[in-house]
């Protein structure tokens, strides 16, 4: 009698287990995944809103670069004060406040804020910094506004230098040394880049 030798034809393939799912197996992982996705969406939305809010800043820096390229041109120097004022006016309205009103301010105070005009001697804490109030700032008030919105100390006579650029005769501007012109462009660029906008 011949021994029963198994043949290779008799071998059968073993059944493989079901593939392991990559989906979370418990509800805790689903909650964690939802929190991560929601956080990513909120961060993306916040970044997008900040990018949109800083559009005025990018445009001002682009214009400043164009003006710097023709710094020998008097019209470029004369446009610097206007550019800074336009950038300040373009700051989102909720960020323009100087000393914020108390949360419980009356409706009457809120209505009158839209009509407030800048009069000489008005304390800065009461200045309406809606566009018409901000546009009226000049001299020391304008200097303090620029300094308050900038982390780096500005020259003490910066607003006076801007006024000189805007109103001085052409001969005075031509007499400005090139180093002083470049310093003015540098300070303006720093302010536009770094001025604080409340979130």
Q: How many domains in the chain? A: 1
The whole-angstrom separation of Cα 93 and Cα 150 is 17
Mean pLDDT of each 10-residue bin along the chain, 199 residues long: 72 83 85 96 96 90 89 84 88 54 34 40 45 74 85 85 87 87 90 76
Instruction: Flag whether 83 is in a domain.
Output: yes
Q: 26: number of CA atoms within 13 Å, CB side?
A: 3
pLDDT for 91 equals 80
pLDDT for 130 equals 52
Instruction: Flag whether 138 is in a domain.
Output: yes
Structure tokens at 154: 């500005």
Range of the domain at 70: 54-100+122-194
Task: Quickly list DSSP for 40-90.
Answer: HHHHHHHHHHHHHHTHHHHHHHHHHHHHHHTTTSHHHHHHHHHHHHHHHHH
pLDDT for 26 equals 86
Instruction: Flag whether 111 is in a domain.
Output: no
């Amino acid at each position: 009698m011949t021994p029963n030798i198994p043949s290779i034809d008799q071998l059968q393939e073993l059944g493989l287990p079901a593939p392991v799912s990559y989906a979370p197996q418990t509800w805790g992982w689903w909650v964690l995944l939802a929190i991560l996705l929601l956080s990513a969406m909120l961060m993306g939305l916040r970044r997008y809103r900040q990018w949109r809010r800083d559009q005025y800043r990018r445009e001002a820096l682009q214009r400043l670069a164009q003006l710097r390229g023709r710094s020998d041109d008097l019209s470029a120097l004369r446009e610097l004060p206007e550019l800074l004022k336009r950038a300040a006016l373009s700051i989102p309205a909720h960020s323009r406040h100087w000393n914020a009103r108390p949360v419980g301010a009356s409706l009457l105070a809120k209505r009158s804020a839209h009509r407030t005009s800048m009069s000489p001697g008005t304390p800065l804490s009461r200045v309406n910094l809606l566009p018409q109030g901000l546009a009226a700032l000049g001299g020391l008030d304008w200097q303090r506004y620029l300094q308050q919105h900038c982390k780096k100390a500005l020259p003490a006579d910066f607003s006076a230098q801007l006024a000189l650029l805007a109103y001085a005769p052409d001969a005075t501007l031509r007499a400005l040394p090139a180093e002083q012109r470049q310093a003015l462009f540098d300070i303006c660029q720093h302010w536009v880049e770094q001025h604080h906008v409340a979130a």
